[in-house]
Amino acid sequence: MLRSLYSGISGMKNLQTKMDVISNNISNVNTTSFKTGRVRFEDMISQSLEGAQANINGKQVGLGMQLGSIDTVMTSGSLQSTGRDLDFGIETGENSFFAVSSNGTDADVLYTRDGGFYMNADNEFITASGYQVLGRMLDVPVEYTGTAPAALETGNLQGISIPQLNNGIKLDSYSVDSSGLILGVYNDKVMVVGQMMLTNFSNAGGLEKTGGNMYRSTLNSGQPIVGSAGSEGYGKIRSGFLEMSNVDLSNEFTEMIVAQRAYQASSRSISTSDQMLEELLALKR
C-alpha cells in the first residue's frame, strides 16, 4: 500500500520538472536561436516479490518513475530577414556555432547561434553582451581573387576587426559572404580582410547552456572543430538574417495537457491509496 503512495509522489515530482521545461520553452518562443528542451522519463527500480523459475515468470512491483534526461533539441530554426548587415544567421548546419570570447582570444571561448552582432568603437565585431566575435584575420588585407587566401586555412582564432585604412587608403565599405569571408572595399578595390569561422561539435546536444544564448563545451560535447562556413559539415552564413527559435507551440501545449493529466492521475492514485488505508484502519472500529 505504501508503495503506491511513493510511486504517485515520484510521478508528481518529476512531472513538475517537465512542466518547468515546457514553461521555459514557451517563454522563449521568440528568443533568437533558442533551442527547445525535451524531458524523458525512466522507470525506477522494481521490487521482486518472487524470482523467476522454470516456466514461471518473476513477480515484480515498480517503485515509481524518475527523470531520465533533459535534452536540448538542436534542430535549426527558420531564418528571418532583418535587412541589417551585422545580423548573421547560420543556414542549416545544426552543429555549427559562432565562437565568441570576452578577451578576443581563443581562451575561455563560448559558442552561440545568435548572430545579432554590433561594431564597437575599435571596429571590432561584438555580441549584445560585449563578447568579441572570433575568426581568422590577415595581418595585411590582400586582393580578393574569388577564393579564400591559404593563410586563413590555419591559425588561432582572434577577435574580428575591420581595418579602416589599407596602405593609407580609407575603407569605403565591407561585407561578409556566405563562407564568412570579410571583404573590404578600398579605393574601389575589393580586399580580403579575414574570415568569420564556425565551430562544429560531434555532439552539440552535450553543450552546456550558460545564458545569454551562449553555450560552453563539455566533456560530452567533444572538442570544437573550427572550419569555414559552407564547407562540408558546416552551415552557410547569411548576412541580413537571424535564426528564430525552434520551439513548436502546438507541440508544447499538447505536452502541457499530457503532463497536466498525468499529474492529476498521479495525484488520484495517492488519494485512492489513502482511502484504502482509511478503510483498513476502520476495520478495528
Same domain, 125 and 44: no
User: Structural domain of residue 266, as residue ranges?
Assistant: 2-49+58-73+247-284
Same domain, 94 and 29: no
pLDDT of residue 4: 87
Same domain, 188 and 276: no
Same domain, 23 and 97: no
pLDDT of residue 45: 84
- Domains held by the chain: number: 2
pLDDT tens track for 29-55: 999 999 999 999 999 888 888 888 888
pLDDT of residue 74: 93
Residues in the chain where the model's pLDDT stays below 50: none
Same domain, 271 and 214: no
pLDDT of residue 281: 84
Same domain, 170 and 266: no
What distance in Å separates the CA atoms of residue 182 and residue 125, rounded to the nearest whole number?
A: 11
Same domain, 237 and 258: no
Same domain, 32 and 153: no
- Joined together, the cell numbers standing for residue 64 give 515509481
Same domain, 228 and 266: no
pLDDT of residue 285: 66
Same domain, 234 and 176: yes
pLDDT of residue 1: 61
Same domain, 83 and 207: yes
Same domain, 169 and 263: no
